[in-house]
Chain A
Amino acid sequence: MPQTLPDFSNSVKLKYVKLGYQYLVNHILYLLLVPIMVAILIEVLRLGPDEILNLWKSLHFDLVQILCSSFLIIFIATVYFMSKPRHVYLVDYACYKPPVTCRVPFATFMEHSRLILKNNPKSVEFQMRILERSGLGEETCLPPAIHYIPPTPTMEAARGEAELVIFSAMDSLLQKTGLKPKDIDILIVNCSLFSPTPSLSAMVINKYKLRSNIKSFNLSGMGCSAGLISIDLARDLLQVHPNSNAVVVSTEIITPNYYQGNERAMLLPNCLFRMGGAAILLSNRRRNRSRAKYRLVHVVRTHKGADDKAYRCVFEEEDKEGKVGISLSKDLMAIAGEALKSNITTIGPLVLPASEQLLFLMTLIGRKIFNPKWKPYIPDFKQAFEHFCIHAGGRAVIDELQKNLQLSAEHVEASRMTLHRFGNTSSSSLWYEMSYIEEKGRMKKGDRVWQIAFGSGFKCNSAVWKCNKTIKTTTDNPWSDCIDRYPVHIPEIVKL
């Protein structure tokens, strides 16, 4: 008993020390300002009013001097305000909810797998093991073409899925925000694996009869992190174009990419990727400032493509039988960890409070100069953010990030539950996660959200949002009929 008490009291003492240190460093400017102000006040009181009046009279004020100084001040103020980057607001977003006929229970998935791969029982076993440990639930959805035995991934079916997902998300967004189609100035659509001619952005322009001078972009091939790349592009465009609305549509069209061979590394995406999409409205108009949900603070993009291993770790190629599929390499997690470290190194100084940055710097200096064996200090990102949206790429990704960033179960709850309910919807999964946090009533004004996405290449992209107003729960979102059942406990292995 006496042994444990000192440890406990030590950790309590340490906690208070840490808190004191953080308070000191983060508010150093205020803490320095207070004694200075006190000193001035004492000096003023000591001098007395007459002395001060004499001091004032001794300053000879010339008209020219006054005018020049005031012009200088006005000039500096103008330059400052003009060069400040425009604030980009996220007015609202809408996520797509697939119809119940597209649902894929585990039993249906495994049955189709057995019927289609009947000559490869080992591949079927592999898929079953992946599905058991995937963290997906029984309500994830695949497009109609995949429900056929065998699947019918025609171009028509792929276009059908694209129209269904994108138009539903757009309709929902237009209704939520009251935006008129002719008011859309910038349109960015990202879909990695399906890129028809004319592009998906042309498809949206055709359906909604958008203006002829719209700035439209279609990003394809950029993987699951393309959603944040689109947001970055929209932000850059909104700096150049004042008073504009930008719509970003993030989706992944599953129909043409369902792998029909039996190479194991390529069967993995079949088990995880599911139907989903999101449409987001960004704006730099002043009048949207009061009704916007979030303000975009930072976007940090890191690309590890210069490294060969990182470049090849998610690779689309043909298997031995000539069937095209996406091959995931075994060191995916290690490469993701590296990419994350890179990203954190860039984003850390932008978001971390001074206390954490100082600690990190001291540990870094110490490791370099004094003793390389010191443990590297992992900054505590929980102090910089209230909410985390980690791309629901798979259970392993979420577990890895939870460990690396030392996050609690509640922080990664949005990611895990999105993976369970919707599966890996690629670039739109971050928006389902945001929606989850909002529907749980956890999003308050001033909260900071960190969205992290990984993608082929290998890329790690982050976006930081600041909540503009406390968000009330609504009924027109994909979680409305099931939010009460969440969070659920997801077992390590689901018995199939």
Chain B
Amino acid sequence: MGDQKSRVNVHSVLTQVSSRPSASDETYPLTRLDHAMGHHTIHVIFYYEKSPFGSFDMDPIRVTLSEVLSSYPPVTGRLTRDDAGNWAVKCNDAGVRVLRARVGITLDEWLRSADGNEERDLTVWEDMPEVPNTWSPFRIQLNDFEGGGVAIGLSCTHMHGDLTSLILLFKAFSEAHHGQAITFPPFFKPPAPPDRKFSVNNSKSTSYLEAKLQKQTPSVKMSTATFKFSDSVVKQCLSEIHDKCPDASPFDLLAALFWIRVVHLKGPKHDDHTHSLSLCVDFRRLLQEPLPYGYFGNALNFSLLSLNEEEMDCSMLGRVAELVHCHVSGLKEEEFWATLHWLDLQKEEGGKYAPPFAMYGPEFTCVSMEHMIIGDQPVMYSMNFDSAKPVHVSCHVGNAEGEGLILVMPSAEAGLARTVMVTLPEEETAKLCEDQSILHLKPTMLLRSI
């Protein structure tokens, strides 16, 4: 099948500014971890049945957006290099780029018929130019569907923040629109390491990072599929593995399930006999001095879980889930600080940070968004416009090459329901969509190629 013309038609580009001028000439430096994530971009898409943007040009909702942007000066600023040659954000109020697009079909039809690659057209995928002083790192794309639906796509470089930051920015916008207080106000002070020394050598994370630095992966055409698992199914599954893993969370279960199936799909490995899963966990609340959720920046950690081939072959779901659970709950803040310390050691002369490398990949990577469920409510589905929750939320990570990426996110249905977005090389995704163990859980499939 040849390249079909995209059904998303971008018709205008404009700049949205903040409502109040920020203090002039403030420069917001980016942290070591921010720099390390520089290879990637993040994209979040919120689907709503009814667009809250009415006439657009003079709609009061744009005034609230300007007001919210005033609280996030680094979002409306521009990237610049500081004296040491590192990236910093000059808070000059230049604004965010807003693109408006029209899609020729209704929202429901889109969720049924579009595939993961086409979904990418709903946000902006732009490489940072050499000289980014007139380039807007944050971009919002408003896609209007026939019949009134809308997909609001936010994208930015991974240097500015992680998926959590972007989602909470949007949440602040929805709260401001209804005149409510902002639940997770923005916080810009990066975490400072405590006084203890950290040994770099025998840390799990740092040795893993060393390995990442060396590997090169050939780029393969990837495709994405979305699986929605309902609350009742997950509950039932958890009760099935209760004897092996009593404290399993839905993330442990689904990560284990998908890992096992993907390994099975990929077939036997030739060079070495271990199977590795890279786990990406948010560290905001795991630090001893917890960072507020509203911390705008990168606060995640990548760690490796390995199993050898024999264990994987005859393992049951429960056992693997147990291993994942132990690994995730065993993560301590020392890992986080050790990573930062290692990144510091990679600095070039003059204090410039090393160029970024792929942090997502090359192994099969699994991203946990369990921290986005606070109380019983999924934060990702709490941004209401006119009392309507989003119909669906998708997240994408740009330049995540390697064996594949899986994101386990909350669903619109509260409780234990989860939405899993899997990105694999094309043939593998197609096979995964027909995998019996997964289909046994009766997932709702969205946004996959038919």
Contact = CB atoms under 8 A, between A and B. Distances in A.
B14 A101 contact: no
Interface in A116-145: 137-139, 144-145
B351 interface: no
A139 B21 contact: yes
A281 to B, nearest CB: 26
Interface string A78-106: 00000000000000000000011101111
B270 to A, nearest CB: 50
B57 interface: yes
A118 to B, nearest CB: 9
A101 B66 contact: yes
A144 B92 CA distance: 20
B66 to A, nearest CB: 5
Given A104-B17, A138-B93, A148 B62 contact: no
Contacts of A103: 17-19, 66
A101 B16 contact: yes
A144 B58 contact: yes
Contacts of B65: 101
A115 B134 contact: yes
A106 B134 CA distance: 12
Interface in B1-45: 12-21, 25
Contacts of B134: 110-111, 114-115
B58 A99 contact: yes
A148 B12 contact: yes
B379 interface: no
A271 B62 CA distance: 24
Contacts of B21: 105, 137-139
B17 A149 contact: no
Contacts of B13: 148-149
A372 to B, nearest CB: 52
Interface residues of A, number: 26
B15 A147 contact: yes
A164 interface: yes
B66 A100 contact: yes
B358 interface: no
A164 B58 contact: yes
B95 interface: yes
Interface string B125-153: 00000000010000000000000000000
A177 interface: no
A138 B18 CA distance: 11
Contacts of A160: 57-58
Contacts of A144: 14, 57-58
B417 interface: no
Nearest to A137: B21
B94 interface: yes
Contacts of B62: 101
A107 B18 CA distance: 12
Contact of B15 (A108, A145, A152): A108
Interface in A28-51: none
A108 B17 CA distance: 8
A147 B57 CA distance: 10
B325 interface: no
A112 interface: yes
Interface string A210-248: 000000000000000000000000000000000000000
Given A103-B19, A108-B95, A160-B57, A147 B14 contact: yes
A142 to B, nearest CB: 10
A107 B92 contact: yes
A104 B13 CA distance: 16
A149 B15 contact: yes
A107 B12 CA distance: 21
B67 interface: yes
Contacts of A99: 58, 63
Contacts of A108: 15, 17, 93-95
B418 interface: no
Interface in B238-266: none
Contacts of B66: 100-101, 103
Contacts of B57: 144-145, 160
Given A108-B94, A144-B57, A101 B15 contact: no
Among B20, B25, B57, B93, which residue has the most Cβ atoms of chain A within 10 A? Answer: B57
A144 B13 CA distance: 12
Contact of B93 (A101, A105, A115, A495): A105
A145 B25 CA distance: 28
Contacts of A107: 78, 92-95
A144 B98 CA distance: 13
B63 A100 contact: yes
Contacts of A164: 58
A135 to B, nearest CB: 16
A105 B12 contact: no
B298 to A, nearest CB: 25
Contact of A100 (B67, B92, B94): B67
Given A100-B63, A101-B62, A144-B57, A111 B17 contact: no
Contacts of A106: 92
Interface string A462-496: 00000000000000000000000000000000010
Nearest to A101: B62
B12 to A, nearest CB: 6
Nearest to B65: A101
A348 B21 CA distance: 43
A453 to B, nearest CB: 29
Among B17, B20, B92, which residue has the most Cβ atoms of chain A within 10 A? Answer: B17
A151 to B, nearest CB: 9
Interface string B93-130: 11100000000000000000000000000000000000
B95 to A, nearest CB: 5
Given A100-B63, A101-B63, A105-B93, A111 B58 contact: no
A137 B20 CA distance: 12
A132 to B, nearest CB: 13
A139 B78 CA distance: 19
Top 4 nearest A-B pairs by Cβ distance?
A100-B19, A107-B94, A107-B92, A105-B93
Given A101-B66, A137-B21, 14 more contacts: A100-B17, A101-B63, A103-B18, A105-B93, A105-B95, A107-B78, A107-B92, A107-B94, A108-B15, A111-B94, A114-B134, A147-B15, A160-B57, A160-B58
18 contacts: A100-B17, A100-B19, A100-B63, A101-B17, A101-B19, A101-B63, A103-B19, A105-B17, A105-B21, A105-B95, A108-B94, A111-B78, A111-B94, A112-B15, A138-B93, A149-B15, A152-B12, A160-B57
